[in-house]
Amino acid sequence: MNVAEVREIAQQIQAEIGKAVIGQAATVELLTTALLAGGHVLLEGPPGTAKTFLAQCFARTLTLDFGRIQFTPDLMPGDILGSNVFNFQTSAFTLTRGPLFCELLVADEINRTPPKTQAALLEAMQERHVTLDGVRHDLGARFMVVATQNPLEQQGTYPLPEAQLDRFLFKQSMPFPSEEEERAIVANHGQRSGSPDAAALGVQPVLDGPGLSAAMAVVAGIRLHEDVVAYIVRLVRATREAPDLEGGASPRAAVMLAMAARARAVMEGRDYVIPDDVKALALPALRHRVLLSPAAQIEGRRAETVVAELIAQVEAPK
């Protein structure tokens, strides 16, 4: 597989999702970028903005082992991971696998469950394996989490711990659609009762597991010039030095941003990264990894605004 073939696959994925999801083109592009970069995505928006449906359509375009978890306040870590259950017939413990054991996991309304249960995903998202009763179980290099959450202002939500937010490659906000897009949504889906179905709307699989592994190998081989590496590091370090930010992005953020830039380069048909690739992805890659200072919070500043200002201020290589 080469760059041109991976670019065509990415375009096919976006076109298939476009059959069912109206608008949200930027979100679909970020999902595809994260897929090729081997990262996880957090989608945030008010209820009813097609966060879950978009994730389901995305999963439909990939012939991967698919799992879904509806996070609730009473969900326990064992409900996600599974547990070892004693089998009286064999007099031995047998692993009952939870829904986490898949290749593509949709974690729906992840911030509606307490931090103890949210933390069950930490090892899986970073190491791509889980440990149960001292035994390691691999999830595979293609394991990906697409999580959705409602804004924290919504009643009954729990903020995600910083350690878990840092595991997400991107955080994408999904606002309400424009008036034109909303008219199209009502015209296309208003005659149906219940939730729309991706398969019924014509969304077809595009990529299988071996194909995804080959595409990810192409992305990993994309050239990253020293000047671009230095630019990524300057961006990330700027978040640690900004007076309006109490906490900045980690070195993990720089590594993941570099991989995402490689994926975007491929989607643009190039075998090398340019500064514009980094600049285009810096905001969704950094907005959830920083903490506002108390003074900035009092002034009503937003972390997203501060990060956007830093991106504009840090000089990019020519």
Q: Which pTM does this prediction carry? A: 0.87
Q: Are 5 and 150 members of one domain?
A: yes
Q: What is the reported pLDDT for 193?
A: 62
Q: Are 103 and 237 members of one domain?
A: no
Torsion of CA 227, 232, 233, 236, to 10 degrees: 160
pLDDT class of 191 with cuts at 50, 70, 90: low
pLDDT tens per residue, range 152-185:
666 667 788 888 889 999 999 888 888 888 888 8
pLDDT tens per residue, range 28-72:
999 999 999 999 999 988 877 888 888 888 888 988 888 888 888
CA distance 208 to 101: 17
Q: What is the reported pLDDT for 29?
A: 93
Torsion of CA 82, 83, 85, 91, to 10 degrees: 120
Q: What is the reported pLDDT for 45?
A: 84
Asked whether residue 210 is domain-assigned, the answer is no
Q: What is the reported pLDDT for 286?
A: 94
Buried-exposed string 32-68: b where 16+ CB fall within 10 A, e elsewhere: bbbbbbbbbbbbbbeeebbbbbbbbbbbbbbbbbbbb
The count of structural domains within the chain is: 2
Domain, as residue range, for 37: 1-187
Per the listing, tokens 């030095």 go with 241
| 1, pLDDT greater than 80 | yes
**Residue 86 backbone dihedrals phi, psi, to 5 degrees:** -75, 125
Which of 93-107, 207-221, 267-281 shows the lowest mean pLDDT across its residues? Answer: 93-107
Asked whether residue 37 is domain-assigned, the answer is yes
Q: Are 299 and 182 members of one domain?
A: no
- The enclosing domain of 1 has a CATH number of 3.40.50.300
- The per-residue pLDDT of the chain, averaged, comes to 87
- The enclosing domain of 307 has a CATH number of 1.10.8.80
pLDDT tens per residue, range 245-300:
888 899 999 999 999 999 999 999 999 999 999 999 999 999 999 988 898 888 88
CA distance 31 to 17: 11
pLDDT class of 140 with cuts at 50, 70, 90: confident
Q: Which residue has the higher pLDDT, 208 or 85?
A: 208
Q: Are 133 and 265 members of one domain?
A: no
Asked whether residue 283 is domain-assigned, the answer is yes
